[in-house]
Structure 1
Amino acid sequence: MGDLPGLNNLVANTAYLRAQHVHPDELRKQRLSLMLPKRKMSSALQAAAGRKYESLCERQLIGRKLFQQFLGAFNPQYRVTTEFLEELSDWSFAEDEAREKAKQSILAKFCQPESRSFLSYLTGEAAERCKSLSDNNFDMLGQIREATRDFLRGKPFSEYLNNVFYRFLQWKEYEKQEISDRYFYEFRTLGKGGFGEAGTPGYMAPEILRQEYSCTSVDWWALGCSIDEMVAARLPFKDFREKVQIEEVTRRTLEDDCKFEHKHFDAPTQDIIRRFLEKKPVYRLGCRSGDDPRNHAFFKSINFRRLEAGLWRPAWVPKSNVVYANDTDRFRDTSEVENVKFEAKDEKFYKQFSTGAVSIRWQKEMVDSGVFDELNRPNLNGRGCETAWESRTCIVL
């Protein structure tokens, strides 16, 4: 008896949904098999990781959390720097009354010499600015922040590198694991670290279709297509479920102008789509020097600082108990075009970009999913594993 149609898809979806409702204690038990690599395995990464404070302790989320944990445990003076920067960040994202309350807390807690959390590590002009900070000159807070960062770049950073930096290198060992064809299948199906829309018919920019040199300009074009699709439920040059040859979509992309026939295409929406869909990259929004699409009227209602900090509530949130895929089996071997066969040259090209995760996004996923907290416990760090971490998608979610 042959496999029932869709049985594999049903099993995969059921396993995925069950994984979303696993009890936290059970999830921790399952994660015990995940161990950071032994310290000796990470030595080769030290040179590649670099020794710049901004990269290791600010831009990379896992590096930042490890550095903050080190500061909090090393000595009280270092701990104050972490508290100050955290409250400063909270103030910068706060609004209205919450922002005023955060400001007064900073003034009372960090700028009064009699306070236990006074910024005693500051010296010279920075120390005097801190003591004199008030409602009237609160704009000088940025200078105090920079003085704090200068302090952290010195002795604290040096001590961090000589103490627990190896933990960061262990995480980099995991991060650098190669993305095999199995990883590509799992990540694309579950929406974890996909490879974008730039290579999908209907989203490809003219310079790609002409086989010309391209860079980030193709991403701005794809964003214009995505905005058009979100408004009208169709692509600019291809109708929803329209049966059309790829050659015709290519011709439309290279020659036709986009049409705005849907009632929700207001003036700002039409304008930003037109600017993103300029045929020549030199005229395209986002491609010119000093050009910031976030300043366009289309985005006037969005506070990008709060958005990037994860504090902006989206207009629509996908339901956690729904799998947004009709047939996950189709993702394994095909894309939008059926019966695509990979040749030797395709495999060679594939290996050129199958080199690991995108650092910032991967680290954020490890933190958000709780994997970082589980694996970073002291009683686990001394126990390594000789092999690379194998894919356990339903576990790490």
Structure 2
Amino acid sequence: MEIETMAANCALLKARDAGNAYRKGRSRKWKEILHFPHINQCKELENSIERDYYSLCVNQPIGKQLFKLFCATEPKLQHLIDLLEEMAKYEVTTDDLKKTSRDKLINKFKTSQSSMVREMVHKEMQNGNLNMENFISSCHSALHEYLSGAPFSEYQNSMYFDRFLQWKMVERRPVTQDNFREYRILGKGGFGEVCACQSRASGKMYACKKLVKKRVKRQGGEKMVLKEKQILERVNSRFVVSLAYTYETKDSLCLVLTVMDGGDLGFHIYKMGNQKLDKNRVQFYAAEVLCGLDHLHKHNVVYRDLKPENILLDYEGHIRISDLGLAEILPENKLVKGRVGTAGYMAPEVVAGTSYGVSVDWWGLGCLIYEMTAKKPPFRNHKEQISKKDLEQRILEKVELYDKMFDEETQNICQKLLAKNPKERLGCRSGQGAEVIKSHQFFKNINFTLLEAGMMQPPFIPDPRAIYCDDVSDIDQFAAVKGVTLDEADEAFYAEFNTGSVTVPWQTEMIETECFKDLNVFGPHGTRSQDLDRSEQIQSTVSEFQSSSLKIQSPLSRSRLLGKIFRRAKDEPAEPILSKSSAGYEKL
């Protein structure tokens, strides 16, 4: 390993350790970065924000927390929130504890202090045979319907809603490269590099996917880039990488995504020794990929590029689907066309140029299970030199081979997912989808309820002191793009791309890193803090708040550089020393 790679790895490991520790990894000026505006500076947002209960109090993590704090001030409302949480716990209870949990939950409803709740139980039990799934669904809807009425109206006149407006103001401010520390390159994509980065405000680690503007323009990739961004904003699944921020630099468009420290499946299949993945890992990864595809399909998204290199592991051993650059949004009740994907993994209907829907993703799942088991793709040997034409001919005509590495269940699911005719493929018959695949014997050891709740223990946990990617020197650098000029016509595209923070991931970051807990402070004895006092006269405008709160000191300043050398605190994570060049920031 070269010195450059060793130094880059050490800096990344130190930053990762700091990002996983309470308060470490944050900039010394993190409170200034997340400084709240005075409530009187939130008037414009207050007048324009959509007053939808589910959006503000259920779907947005910080909004949900603040609504719960409001409900905690009224015992009756707190009781309803407790019941909602008890139902959520019941839904992820293991089968062996299900009956006991069921009886306890029903008893809580029967003895509830709320007459409305007791009536719900009585109504559901009139027939004498309580269907627990229907019961929970009915109670869930009824409780939220009640909370969305008078309680929601009262909440909007409380200091808790005012604090929510302050958080939204911070969330909506512009994002620049100065919001992040940048670390080693992790890999490369079609338009640029992917590197590790860290939020200065919270210390949370991310991956920054840089799309070089000139390369995007030369390849006509503007629509593809916007489509990937829009799809990432649309989905929210623990099995698909999340988009947290978008911003631009002079040279690049940047997507800040979930960092996956454990490497990609291709790395684990081919570069972690001669042993193949054991069946427990194959089942687990396939099950999580299946859940990710199911989530995409429910949002009318077909992925189209399933392969080991696009399946990433996090430091806990869970996987996420990444790189949605080739994904497509399916029109309502319609199919799409296009020879899109990676050679060797494209479904027969893609190779043949016919119309298709989500069937191509179930084919991809079959390819993935096959490759994890056999340590080679189904229609060629690993690193086999073969023409694209011959490879496509194999996909259309050849039947994949199975050896002793495939047990009966694994072979059966691969054969059903790799059926040449999409109408005969597992999961593709009318009304089937992911559920019929989940019920296959191959997944008999997977509890999908627990898996989807993130409560199943992965069979393999990556070494936290290891870097699961190629050495820095082994990752080819892009050549400079020549003959492409950026002009004013490109600015509209950049403006559409550069939208800053993405609501749910950003709010989740604030909660998980405890920035929310540390900053969400009110006055003594349940009173308003000074920044929530509406009687105060505030001179500065919203724009002044934004401009003053966004001044994050450049890492290039001489005083900061000297500070790094001589005065860095023991718990401050290592930051790369950066120099400004025409290509952005690079290590000195």
* Structure 1 CA distance for aligned equivalents of residues 517 and 52 of structure 2: 24
* Structure 1 CA distance for aligned equivalents of residues 377 and 480 of structure 2: 23
CA drift of 1:325 comes to 0.2
* Structure 2 CA distance for aligned equivalents of residues 248 and 42 of structure 1: 64
Tell me the secondary structure at the aligned position of residue 26 of structure 1. coil
* Structure 2 CA distance for aligned equivalents of residues 228 and 365 of structure 1: 36
Deviations 1:292-332 (A, max 9, x none): 32222222221111111111112222222221101356668
- Which is worse superposed, 144-153 or 61-70? 61-70
Pair 1:68 & 2:63 matched = no
1:235 paired residue among 351, 366, 377: 377
Distance 1:316 1:250, change over 3 A: same
* Structure 2 CA distance for aligned equivalents of residues 251 and 179 of structure 1: 43
1:266 corresponds to? 407
Give matches, 1:1-397, under 5 Å.
6-22=2-18, 23-28=21-26, 31-32=30-31, 34-35=33-34, 51-72=51-72, 74-95=73-94, 98-107=97-106, 109-112=108-111, 118-120=112-114, 122=116, 125-126=119-120, 128-129=122-123, 137=130, 139=132, 141-142=135-136, 143-161=138-156, 163=158, 164=161, 165-166=164-165, 169-170=168-169, 173=172, 177-178=245-246, 181=252, 183-184=254-255, 190=261, 194-195=322-323, 199-209=341-351, 215-261=357-403, 263-291=404-432, 292=434, 293-328=437-472, 367-368=511-512, 370=514, 373=517, 385-386=546-547
Residue identity opposite 1:260 in structure 2: Y
* Structure 2 CA distance for aligned equivalents of residues 381 and 269 of structure 1: 63
Alignment check: 8 A CA contact 1:122 1:147 kept: no
CA drift of 1:257 comes to 2.6
Alignment check: 8 A CA contact 2:110 2:121 kept: no
Deviations 1:245-304 (A, max 9, x none): 44443343343332222x232233223223333345444333443213222222222111
Distance 1:259 1:223, change over 3 A: same
More contact order relative to length (CA 8 Å, sep ≥ 6): 1
CA drift of 1:214 comes to 5.1
Residue identity opposite 2:25 in structure 1: L
- Which of the two has greater strand per residue? 2
* Structure 2 CA distance for aligned equivalents of residues 42 and 235 of structure 1: 58
Tell me the secondary structure at the aligned position of residue 178 of structure 1. strand
Distance 1:297 1:162, change over 3 A: farther
Tell me the secondary structure at the aligned position of residue 25 of structure 2. helix
1:115 corresponds to? none
Deviations 1:366-395 (A, max 9, x none): 6545555556566999697547799xxx89
* Structure 1 CA distance for aligned equivalents of residues 244 and 257 of structure 2: 17
Alignment check: 8 A CA contact 2:345 2:367 kept: yes
Distance 1:71 1:7, change over 3 A: farther
* Structure 2 CA distance for aligned equivalents of residues 62 and 228 of structure 1: 42
Alignment check: 8 A CA contact 2:109 2:121 kept: no
How many residue pairs get aligned? The number is 375
CA drift of 1:80 comes to 1.2
Gap regions ≥5 residues in structure 1: 113-117
Distance 1:340 1:141, change over 3 A: farther
TM-score between the two structures when normalised by the length of structure 1 = 0.71
* Structure 2 CA distance for aligned equivalents of residues 381 and 282 of structure 1: 65
- Which is worse superposed, 304-313 or 37-46? 37-46
Residue identity opposite 1:152 in structure 2: L
Distance 1:279 1:97, change over 3 A: closer
Tell me the secondary structure at the aligned position of residue 259 of structure 1. coil
* Structure 2 CA distance for aligned equivalents of residues 50 and 330 of structure 1: 50
Distance 1:363 1:217, change over 3 A: farther
Alignment check: 8 A CA contact 2:90 2:102 kept: yes
Distance 1:147 1:329, change over 3 A: farther
Alignment check: 8 A CA contact 2:57 2:64 kept: yes
CA RMSD of aligned residues (A): 4.8
* Structure 1 CA distance for aligned equivalents of residues 530 and 445 of structure 2: 45
* Structure 1 CA distance for aligned equivalents of residues 377 and 81 of structure 2: 47
CA drift of 1:149 comes to 2.3
Distance 1:308 1:107, change over 3 A: same
CA drift of 1:215 comes to 4.6
CA drift of 1:51 comes to 4.8
Alignment check: 8 A CA contact 1:202 1:235 kept: yes
Alignment check: 8 A CA contact 1:176 1:355 kept: no
